[in-house]
Structure 1
């Protein structure tokens, strides 16, 4: 019989939270702007976590629903994601770029994608700080969603973003503890 005990990575991700700050619109097809903050402790040193956050192979395995992540140039990528979370459900194609890299302290991620349910675009400032033998990763993102995604309302978008962030950090922790 399989064990129902949590994996080591479940114990190591100590905190992930997202907070809604403001909205342009919560109804209709008018784009919605949401500020999302996320924080998580990853069980590895800062240099290793920074390297993982800029490694397409690790990112493809850690990003929920990532079907492909292809480098199109230095620190630029095209991606296909199949998201199965309510409010964002669908297949998206898009682009991402890593800017302002300051290893192992910070980077900025810009992204845009579209699919049947609508579009998502924005940027995230990501910082890394030592926390004992681990690393605290903090992200502040300004995200704009439009189309049917905006029509479902900001609370559902936030719940979906929370699940995706939790899943990403859990999988990133698993990737880093497995190597």
Structure 2
């Protein structure tokens, strides 16, 4: 005796529902590149110290046209500065310029809930050695002029700017300048960019 097998027609609605279920399952099991990059990152803070009261990340980064040159990237919406920074692959000599280096993407922001610190996120690595972290902090401090000497110079400039603006209106524009000029993380990069800019016609 042959038993008849009842066949159910496969409708387009069933296919659509099945396709949506598979798509949702694939999305849940598949991580996007941004999510993976978000996981493979290290976040730390850099205290602003005495500069916390007057420091502005936007004014400092945008104080010079170099922030528009590659590999620098400034996001005006999130007010986040991003660029790659170099690290030595030698833990014992992280500042050795002759050692083999790697490049890691770094973003710097100054969120409102951290008025006295900068938030630094390093992508592409799950951890950082103390030496590598110190190297990154040094590069950020150089770029944004956050050293004690830079802070003294910025304060002196603001005093001169305020005095000049009080005497003559033509100098009132100086009040909006914080006294910090953005620069590259290394002297070599600054020299190359300055030479190339000077030869532009």
TM-score range, shorter chain: 0.3 to 0.5
Asked which structure has the greater RCO (Cα within 8 Å, sep 6+), the reply is 1
Instruction: Compare CA radii of gyration and give the structure with the larger one.
Output: 2
TM-score with structure 2 setting the length? 0.37
Higher helix share: 2
Higher strand share: 1
